Structure 1
C-alpha cells in the first residue's frame, strides 16, 4: 500500500513554550531500564510527582461538557475480555469539553477537547461498513445525535473565532476539514471549506502524525487519512510528550490505544479530573466495584486493575500503564468514592437494547465555573 502523503514534515519543530510549559516529571517510559513491569512502577512514581506539581498551577475559569452523539460500539472492544454481557454492542456517548482560562498576562484562552464533526466522522471505515449492514430503522434506534459542536458553542456564547485550540485524545474517526479548512477544493463537500475555527491550532502528538503517514492494517479501519491530504500544515501544533497549557489544564501523553494517545488533565473545584478514551467507563479503573457481568470477576481472576478500551491494540502493555497513570492522577468522585474522576471522552451509556452493559456509575458531565 502506498503511504499516505500528509501535510507535515518529519523534521517540523515546535517551540513548546508557545503553547505552555513542558512537563519534565513525566518522561518517556521507553527509556526506563527493565521490562513493562519496571515501566509500570515508574509510571506510578512519575504520576504522583506530576500530580503534586500540577495542582499548584491553579484552576481554569470554567469546564463545560456537551453531549454530541450516542452510538453503538462492540462490547468486545469497549470492555475488552472482561464482559460477560450477551449483547454484542453497547452504547457510548461522545462528548465535547469546553475549557476556558486566562494566561498570566490576562489573555483569554478557549480549548475544545473532542470537538468531533459527527456528520463526517461516520465515514470512518469501520463505522461506514457497520452502517451499511444496519437497516435504517435499526440505525435510528441505535444512534442519537444530541447537538453539534457549533450549536453548543452558540449556547455558551462562544464565537468560533475565539477558539484557540482543538484537541483530541487521538484522531480516530476525525475529519477536520470543516474545522481548519483546506488548501484545495473538496469534491465530497462541494466546495473548498473556509475554516470554522480560523485561529485554532490542533494539538497532537508527533507520534500519531507519523503513524498516520503510513498506517498499519490494524490502524486503517479507524482513521480517515485521505481527509488530511489538503489540510493546512500550519493548523497543527505537533508536540512530544506532556505540556501544561494553562492554570489547571494539561496535555499528558498516554500511549497505547494509539502510539500518540494523549489525555486531558484538569484541576477543578472538586480536584483533578482526567479525560481520554483509554477506558469507556469510570468503573473500568476500579473494576472491583463494577456490577456489570464479568468485570469484577475478570479483574480478580487475572489480577488486572483496569479494563482497557481495546478496539485497536497497538501496544497493550503501554495502554495499561497509561491508564494506571490516569488512575493515579485522578481524584476520587465526591458522589461515590469507589470511583475516580475519570471522564471518558466516550462514556458507556445505559440502553435497553444492550442488556448487561449498563454502567454501575456515570459522570455524565463536568461543571466547573
Structure 2
C-alpha cells in the first residue's frame, strides 16, 4: 500500500480544539495497568468537573444508518452464553452543532459511515462471501444515508465542519473528503461531498496505519486512504475541547489510536465509542443477557468489552472505565449510564439470547 503521505505529513499535520491536560499521559503512568487504572478513576473525576463547566452545544441529533451482524464472541467478549454466533448492532451517526465565542456555527458529524463502501472491509467482505445471498437482506438493514439524514435536519453538506470516528475500522472516506487522483472502483468524480469538512483523528492511529499488524489488517481499508486529500485531516493528541460541551478524549486499546466523543447535554454528560456495544456492558451486574452478570461476578470485571482485534485489552478496559467514570446516569433508567455505543446492540429474531436489557437508541438535545 502506498501511504507515503502519512509517513511525511502526520508529524506536521494541523490540529483542532483546545488541549485538555487533565487526562494527558494516562496510558504512560508507571507501575503497570493496575496503576494506570487507579490514575484513570481519579483523573476522570477531575475531568468531569472541568468539562461540565464548558457549557453545552446547541443541538445533538441521532441518525440510524445500518443494522448488521457482528460476532457475539467479539461484541460480548467471553461473557455471553447466547447460542447465536452473531448478534445485531446498529451503527448511528450523531450530529452536533454549536456556536464559537465569535458567533460562528460549527457542525460535527460523529460516525458518518459510508456503509456502502464499508462493506469492502476484509472481515465483512469475507463474511458476506460466506453468507447465502438470499439471507443477506434479512441480516443487513439500511435505515438511511448520511446525506439523506442531513437533508432531513436542514443541514447542507457545505455546512459540515468536522467528521469524526472513534477509530477508522471499516471506514472509506473517499466520497466524503475527495481524492487527489481519479478512482477505478467508484463511478463518477470524487469531489468531496463535504467540501469544508476536516477529519478529526488521533495522530497515533494515522501513524499506525502506515504499518498495520496482522491483527489489524482484517478491519482496515488502507487502500482507501492512498489518494485521499491529506489536507482534510486534523491530527489530535489526547483530549481536546472542540466547543462548548463537545470534547474528544483518547481511549486507546480497541485500536492504538481510539478516541471517544464526550458531550455535555441537558441530561448530563455522555460518552460515545465502540469500546462496548451496550450500555449494560458498563454495568454487567444489571444485565439480563445470558451469562454477562455471572461472568462479571466470577472474574470481578466491571465492564464487558467489545473486543475484536485485542490490540491492547488492558488499555481498552481502562479506557472503558474512563468513560464509565465520566458519564452521568440515564434519566430513562437510572440503573444505567449515559454511555452511547456508536454501534449499539439491537434485538433481532436471528440472534436469540442477545436482546439488550436496556437501550438508549438516541441522544437528543436542544439547548
TM-score by length of 2: 0.98
Runs of 4+ in 1 over 4 A off after TM superposition: none
Query: What is the CA distance between 1:12 and its match in structure 2?
Result: 2.7
Give distance in 2, aligned partners of 1:361 and 1:6. 45
Q: Between Structure 1 and Structure 2, how many residues are aligned? A: 365
Query: What is the CA distance between 1:150 and its match in structure 2?
Result: 0.1
Give distance in 1, aligned partners of 2:297 and 2:39. 23
In the TM superposition, 1:53-92 aligns within 5 A as 53-92=50-89
Query: What is the CA distance between 1:191 and its match in structure 2?
Result: 3.8
Aligned-residue CA RMSD in angstroms? 1.0
Q: Does 1:179 align with 2:176?
A: yes
CA contact (8 A) 2:67 2:90 kept: yes
SS of residue paired to 1:137:
helix
Match of 2:280 in 1: 283
In the TM superposition, 1:80-119 aligns within 5 A as 80-119=77-116
For residues 205-246 of structure 1, give each alpha carbon's deviation from its aligned partner in whole angstroms, at most 9, with x where no partner exists.
Answer: 011011111110000000000010000110000111110000
CA contact (8 A) 1:91 1:351 kept: yes
For residues 240-292 of structure 1, give each alpha carbon's deviation from its aligned partner in whole angstroms, at most 9, with x where no partner exists.
Answer: 11100000000000000001000000000000000000000000000000000
CA contact (8 A) 2:93 2:111 kept: yes
Match of 2:234 in 1: 237
Q: 5+ unaligned residues in a row in structure 2: which ranges?
A: none
Give distance in 2, aligned partners of 1:260 and 1:362. 27
Q: Does 1:251 align with 2:272?
A: no
Q: CA 1:76–1:6 in structure 2 vs 1: closer, same or farther (change >3 Å)?
A: farther
Match of 1:13 in 2: 12
Give distance in 2, aligned partners of 1:67 and 1:4. 34
CA contact (8 A) 1:10 1:210 kept: no
Match of 1:140 in 2: 137
Q: 5+ unaligned residues in a row in structure 1: which ranges?
A: none
Query: What is the CA distance between 1:31 and its match in structure 2?
Result: 2.8
Which of 336, 345, 348 in structure 2 is aligned with 1:339?
A: 336
Query: What is the CA distance between 1:24 and its match in structure 2?
Result: 0.6
Query: What is the CA distance between 1:20 and its match in structure 2?
Result: 1.9
Match of 1:314 in 2: 311
Q: Does 1:25 align with 2:54?
A: no
SS of residue paired to 1:187:
coil
Query: What is the CA distance between 1:112 and its match in structure 2?
Result: 0.1
Query: What is the CA distance between 1:136 and its match in structure 2?
Result: 1.8
CA contact (8 A) 1:47 1:329 kept: yes
Match of 1:223 in 2: 220
Give distance in 2, aligned partners of 1:70 and 1:130. 15
CA contact (8 A) 1:293 1:356 kept: yes
For residues 93-141 of structure 1, give each alpha carbon's deviation from its aligned partner in whole angstroms, at most 9, with x where no partner exists.
Answer: 0000000000011110000000000110001000001101111221110
